[in-house]
Structure 1
């Protein structure tokens, strides 16, 4: 019998024979395909924080040029997210596994070889477009290829992969800083290597059985489900496919209040996270350097890596707990820590207490890791039907990137005009808004199957 703390398990994996090694490898490859996609995003965005250090001196960028450069990839991600979600729902999960990565490789090479700022803007836009296309695809793969009991854990692994990519790019950037004034070219070009690895990992993945079943292709859905779960009996397969088929819900139902609340839960917290996280994350090394908190570019990159590790440790802490504690409590607590950390950061940067600056930054980064850094990504896909899932994730990606563009363009301008303390106070208020939106629009997806989460009471279309 289900209780409020033990949600119904509609569509969970049937208890049948042992899992074959081949099926386990297929599921693991699906997870790695998602993780490496997220790693590439972490690598690409975070390498820019180090790229700015030599590039700023080599090309003598002013504040507006710096903001526009940082915003180009984010603007590309905005458009890519919106398009990628619709394309993933229209043509399937598998068909988009490779085109976006090829596009990313082209963008990375254009960026690395660009002779002027215009071509560098174009290269960064193309890499952002590719990553935006990949975001809703990655989120949907994790949701639809994972078992109910471990879905949160897999989302946490994917979130951790972002920080692994960010740390990796920071380490690579730090090493390449010593290669001369053109080091930024090698930094941008180095992203081709993880992109090529991602192409290899994504080979031969099956299409999502849920997507095939909802489209009415029962035979193909059955074959895909057998690849993922060869331990299922014929009765198990039939039961799962019946649950997966459900009934297609028209877009007009998305405008009903119940679904709009879910949409706001997926949009607002992620928007707030990117306004804060990208503003702080992209410019943190420069803030350290320009305020005399470190004595060299290499020192700024090293300190930045240390704070990324704190967020990664936060995700490691919640890895075994996300499916027990739930998304909403962790997201609420994480935003609260982010807001408190930023407020203290503002205070201590104003008073000049160095130890307080580092302590408050650690509180902020830990808050990102234990909550929003994972949960906004999960909630953007878990709480929507199969036929809308990637589109909803793409919409959330697009809006979050709009917030990131806003932050990337205006952060250096506001810092120059108002100073770091006031800008940090504003960021703390945005994080607080993310916490309030989480509480007001909360929908808990812990231990609930995707099919159970689709059960929302909405009047029939036309009534």
Structure 2
């Protein structure tokens, strides 16, 4: 055993088949994030033919883009509580069935109101899944590679975004109803996720903390078949601890952690989803892309830059830490947006693309991964999903506000001023990270929970 409550990395690595079940859990989490990336990003392409087919005005466009985010807000809040109360497995399947229903309702919508409903249902399903996925990654990973696994899961989001952009671009040529095929196509990765999640064991940490020692031992043995009987017992002892009531989060030390988990993620979604959802339309309306297909292709290029940023930190996140990378990422986002705004005023196209590239790289090397990790790593087992759900809900509130206001503000203020505001929001995310930062690199979840145990216990 190492001092962090887990087997040594070398011991785990040298035993055949040690990662099979943990790889299953990681795959289920990655496909869940891929679905979110696919769903949100497909809308950026959907808007191109839908706007022409239904002649949506700015308010309708904003509300349409915001419905899934509103659903995610409510789903995140509810999903976190349900996951902590009833276990990690209970929501593995119902939320995906709900997503399939929402995707089909969206695809067959006869009017805007039904389309709003379909998008709300898909968002609700994804919101329910977010705290579940984050908790699975945290609780089914070793301290030495937990950051790497969070990076892989968030890289899957960008794979989903790129996949949906490619699918959307291909379907653009099917005619005026192409947007229906785009929205319906999201049901396919959802069905694949249902298949992958079968047989995933319950979290041993949740079972141990909720008074199910025998089930916890069996689940741990499935996840870590290389453990000896003595090692299983020692690990389960580490999982057990004093249960914290929800009101402990009102204590100063935990409130600081809540701010760290919530506010930077809120800033990221205000900026990232506001820009991400409307970037192809910005390209078209500002004459930066000559066709819908060109706008979708350019958008895919910047999504790829963010994905490459995550690839860069895959082997570094567990060495460099969450806080330095999150701070640097927000700084690059703000710099890129400032350059984008300045060059928009001056009409310098090369500078606009350079600013967008810097911004996209900043998203990838830091906040897109780290906010997701910090939302679960720094909280007790019995409150972990609830804290992640709260962070998800409030972040999606920021995205909802951005989605509703972005097209309206762009029309009244112009894109340069909107981007300046976004740059300021990114700077606020960086400042909150530096002020409230709690580093979780190479620490077990139990170590992170016990650091302030004596202070935080009522």
TM-score (norm. length: structure 2): 0.98
Distance 1:296 1:328 in 2: 40
1:125 equivalent in alignment to 2:120: yes
Residues of 1 paired with 2:456 and 2:311: CA distance? 43
Matched residues in 1 for 2:73 and 2:50: separation? 25
Distance (Å, rounded) in 2 between the aligned partners of 1:315 and 1:258: 30
Partner of 1:101: 96
Provide the rounded CA distance (Å) in 1 between the counterparts of 2:196 and 2:404.
35
Aligned with residue 177 of structure 1, among 159, 172, 177:
172
1:347 & 1:220 partners in 2: Cα distance? 59
Q: 1:87 aligns with which of 73, 82, 92?
A: 82
Partner residue in 2 for 1:61:
56
Structure 1 position 16, deviation (Å): 4.7
CA contact 1:153–1:320 (8 Å) conserved in 2: yes
Residue 50 of structure 1 corresponds to: 45
Q: Is 1:227 matched up with 2:222?
A: yes
Task: Provide the C-alpha distance between the structure 2 equivalents of 1:13 and 1:439, rounded to a whole number of angstroms.
Answer: 32
Q: Which residue of 2 aligns with 1:70?
A: 65
Decide which moves more: 449-458 or 72-81. 449-458
Q: Distance in 2 between matches of 1:12 and 1:227?
A: 15
What SS is found at the alignment partner of 1:447? Answer: coil
Give 1:293's aligned residue.
288
Partner SS state of residue 200, structure 1? helix
1:441 maps onto 2:440 in alignment: no
Structure 2: distance between partners of 1:105 and 1:9:
44
Structure 1: gaps (5+ residues): 1-7
Contact 1:20 1:230 in 2 (8 A): no
Does residue 397 (structure 1) correspond to residue 392 (structure 2)? The answer is: yes
Structure 1 208/461 Cα, relative in aligned 2: closer, same or farther at 3 Å?
closer
Q: Is the 2:158–2:303 Cα contact (8 Å) retained in structure 1?
A: yes
2:125 and 2:223 map into 1 onto residues whose CA distance is 28
Compared with structure 1, are the counterparts of its residues 16 and 308 closer, same or farther at alpha carbon in structure 2 (3 Å cutoff)?
A: closer
Partner in structure 2 of residue 156 of structure 1: 151
Q: What is the CA distance between 1:11 and its match in structure 2?
A: 1.2
1:153–1:322: 8 Å Cα contact kept in structure 2?
Answer: yes
8 A Cα contact 1:9 1:448, kept in partner: no
- Deviation string for 1:258-279 (max 9, x for gaps)? 0000000000000000000011
Is the CA contact (8 Å cut-off) linking 1:269 and 1:435 kept in structure 2? yes
Instruction: Write out per-residue CA displacement over residues 370-417 of structure 1, whole angstroms, 9 at most, x where no aligned residue.
Output: 000100000000000100000000000000000000000000000000
Question: 1:431 aligns to what?
Answer: 426
Query: What secondary structure is seen at the aligned counterpart in 2 of 1:96?
Result: coil
Structure-2 residue corresponding to 1:373: 368
**Cα distance in 2, alignment partners of residues 431 and 317 from structure 1:** 21
- Contact 1:163/1:312, CA 8 A, preserved across alignment: yes
Partner of 1:11: 5
What is the TM-score of this pair, normalised by structure 1?
Answer: 0.97
**For 1:320, what is the secondary structure of its paired residue?**
coil
Where does structure 2 lack aligned partners over 5 or more consecutive residues?
none
Q: Which of 101, 111, 114 in structure 1 is aligned with 2:109?
A: 114
Residue 19 of structure 1: how far off its partner (Å): 3.1
Q: In 1, are the aligned partners of 2:329 and 2:367 still within 8 Å (CA)? A: yes
Partner Cα separation in structure 2 for residue 12 and residue 438 of structure 1 = 28
Matched residue, 1:25: 20
Structural RMSD (CA): 1.1
Aligned residues: 454
Deviations 1:344-392 (A, max 9, x none): 1000011000000000000000000000010000000000010000000
Superposition pairs of residues 211-250 of structure 1, within 5 angstroms: 211-250=206-245
How far the C-alpha of 1:461 sits from its partner, in A, is 5.5
